[in-house]
Structure 1
Amino acid sequence: MADFYANKKVFVTGGAGLIGSHLVEMLVERGAKVTVPVRKTTKLDFLESVRDKITVVEVDLFDKPSVLRAMKGQEIVLNLAAAKGGGIAHSMAHHASLFRDNITSFMNVIDAAREVGVERFLVVSSACVYPTNTTSPTPEEEGVKDQPDPSNAGYGWSKRMEEYLGKAYAEEFGMKIAIARPYNAYGPRDDFFAPTNHVIPSLIKRILSGENPLVVWGSGKQTRSFLYAKDFARGLLDVCEKYPVADPLNIGSDEETSIGDLAKLLVELTGAKLDIVFDSTKPDGQPRRTCDTRKAKEKIGFSSRILLRDGLASTINWYKTEKAKRGL
């Protein structure tokens, strides 16, 4: 049987980033004809291995005519582009701009896809849609039972709106829409060099810089499901191919890990000798954000393959190599 993506013209927003670059590589391997829209300032380092096999076009996702011109002739749109989130502090300080930027670019991309008449459209939502108090692991139907956790309100509401718009476009215009609701991503190519990085790159960077004691925000008891970047990318492709019915699917790992245990594991894997201190004056964020994977297994046969310990070891090694390349 021919691969679903073989010879398909696939338009991947956010295709140069942590998840997008892995996804683009997978698409190229599967014979897709990939176009990646980028800004003038976008770095293409992570696409180096496939740069001669894809089309890169300069596009402003905040300008619909620009998006429409670039999207003409495309068959599948995978919308991975999102406003730069980051840790709790960044998210709490930028609710309005995160909401505005996500919704503005999303509206332009999905409406251009409607006008072009694409065969499939992937909405990449987020586990940030979930409210503070949920069943853990959290099933998809709890995504709208209350407001998103206050620490992620702007980002969470924007992703809820994207899900709603995906469903509405499917109902009104007959578009085939897939909706993925992924959990915390990490892995090689994560952003270690920005002030807005997430918990795993932040901890690795600080541990390897010799910070002692290592100060971790919150109680350390809050838990998360972390998903390795290649698993994440594979899950997105599976959702788009196998479940384009405008119904959200969690994409995540069965492993539930406390932030305290994560910090201890990273210290162990790096071989660092340091103390860990938890700053309880800082927010925990959601007490538990853990993935109920049953529906994804049932509907598309997806489950994560990379264990957290192995994925973290790979990520640490990548960061050490990248740091040496940059002379840091």
Structure 2
Amino acid sequence: MFEGKSFFITGAAGFVGTNIIQRLLALNEDLKIIATYHHKLPRIYHPKITYIQLDLRIPHACDPYLKNIDYLIMTAGYVGGASHIQNFPEQFLTDSTLITLNVLASVQTLKKALFLSSSMVYPESEFPLQETDGFRGEPFHKYFSGGWGKRIGEIICKQYAYRTKNPLKMSIIRIDNIYGPFDNFSTNSSHVVASLIKKAVHKKDPFEIWGTGTENKDFLYIDDLIDGIFLALLKDSPLEIYNIASGQNTSINNLAKIILNECHFYPKIIYNQNKPSTIPFRSISIKKATKELGFSPKTSLQKGISNTLYWYKNNFHKL
């Protein structure tokens, strides 16, 4: 698939970056991987990987390393769950913008770049959102900074794709709720799937759910996201934007039920509506990715939860 190619991956110690590296290594091909991290240490080591500790918010930080690279994958950015979105909104805006600006400014020669965007760019809607809805209206009010941070990142990508001198081929991937091995299970900053898994494994009774439990979302297993990323990288086009999601929505109540059943744990469930919560309904269409990339999610929510639980039970003591 990528025999003889070289990669520059930002955010390589994070959830998505770690899984991308793991999948690239599993291809068992002749690859060169240069990977950046900031504070958090990498979790996968291999002779094919050269890790570099960089603060990508600093201009020219990666100038020496983005030479003779085939593929650039940009996953670095400020991330967090509902509490971080509420308490640190400016960082979602500033960090994403600075990192995207600085990394793309350092590019010299490149086969293809991929920018990891988010469904936070979209306005509130009762219907599945298409890629063309990304700049319609304002992002959902609780996602304002994060949504605009990603929108600005996309604008920067478009500038480099459409510039007259040395244009870059670019794919932009908008993701929704992703989960799986190597996710962030921190009590203070995890997303909903990791948070509920941690509570279930450690037998928290009563079992607290933030919000009403009726919030309805799309959950995509990390392996399916990596499939979408690789398909987008191989797409030969100047600039494309794709929604990558499962195409299936479920409520937080149903998500919790699946997790608790997998754990054979049946606690008293309580709802805390005083805690930070997110958009009540969000659905993004994957029709374009299916038609143009052949993208098709393979992992059911139950199977993905089972896989993630197995990984967490075997690794939580290392986290």
**Do the structures match in fold with TM over 0.5?**
yes
Q: Secondary structure at the match of 1:181?
A: strand
Mapping of residues 87-166 of structure 1, within 5 Å = 87-113=81-107, 116-132=108-124, 134-166=125-157
Which TM-score applies when normalising by structure 1? 0.91
CA contact 2:208–2:270 (8 Å) conserved in 1: yes
CA contact 1:20–1:233 (8 Å) conserved in 2: no
- CA spacing shift, 1:169–1:311, aligned 2, 3 Å: same
Amino acid at match of 2:110: V
Q: 2:253 aligns with which of 257, 260, 264?
A: 260
Q: Secondary structure at the match of 1:55?
A: strand
- Check if 1:204 corresponds to 2:203: no
Deviations 1:123-166 (A, max 9, x none): 1101111112x252221111111111122221111101111111
Deviations 1:49-108 (A, max 9, x none): xx122222232212232211121222221111111x222121011111221111111110
Q: 1:283 Cα deviation (Å)?
A: 5.2
- Check if 1:13 corresponds to 2:10: yes
Q: Quote the residue 1:322 is aligned against.
A: 315
| Structure with greater proportional helix content | 1
Mapping of residues 269-308 of structure 1, within 5 Å = 269-282=262-275, 284-308=277-301
- CA spacing shift, 1:243–1:302, aligned 2, 3 Å: farther
CA–CA distance in structure 2, aligned partners of residues 180 and 317 of structure 1: 28
- Gaps of at least 5 residues in structure 2 are none
Q: 1:247 Cα deviation (Å)?
A: 2.7
Q: 1:81 aligns with which of 71, 76, 82?
A: 76
CA contact 2:260–2:266 (8 Å) conserved in 1: yes
Q: 1:281 Cα deviation (Å)?
A: 4.1
CA contact 1:252–1:303 (8 Å) conserved in 2: no
Q: 1:311 aligns with which of 284, 304, 318?
A: 304
Tell me whether 17-26 or 289-298 shows the greater mean CA deviation. Answer: 17-26
Q: 1:317 Cα deviation (Å)?
A: 1.2
Q: 2:67 aligns with which of 67, 72, 90?
A: 72
Q: Quote the residue 1:32 is aligned against.
A: 31
- CA spacing shift, 1:236–1:198, aligned 2, 3 Å: same
Amino acid at match of 2:84: H
Deviations 1:182-210 (A, max 9, x none): 12110011111351111111111112222
Q: Quote the residue 2:176 is aligned against.
A: 183
CA contact 1:130–1:147 (8 Å) conserved in 2: yes
- Check if 1:215 corresponds to 2:212: no
CA–CA distance in structure 1, aligned partners of residues 36 and 306 of structure 2: 32
CA contact 1:222–1:284 (8 Å) conserved in 2: no
CA–CA distance in structure 2, aligned partners of residues 194 and 283 of structure 1: 13
Deviations 1:250-309 (A, max 9, x none): 001022111111111111111112021223344542121123111100110011111110
CA contact 2:214–2:252 (8 Å) conserved in 1: yes
Deviations 1:107-131 (A, max 9, x none): 1001112xx1222111110111111
CA–CA distance in structure 2, aligned partners of residues 159 and 262 of structure 1: 27
Q: 1:247 aligns with which of 197, 222, 240?
A: 240
- CA spacing shift, 1:128–1:35, aligned 2, 3 Å: same
Amino acid at match of 2:203: G
Amino acid at match of 1:126: S
Q: Secondary structure at the match of 1:68?
A: coil
Identity within the alignment, %: 29
- How many residue pairs end up in the alignment? 315
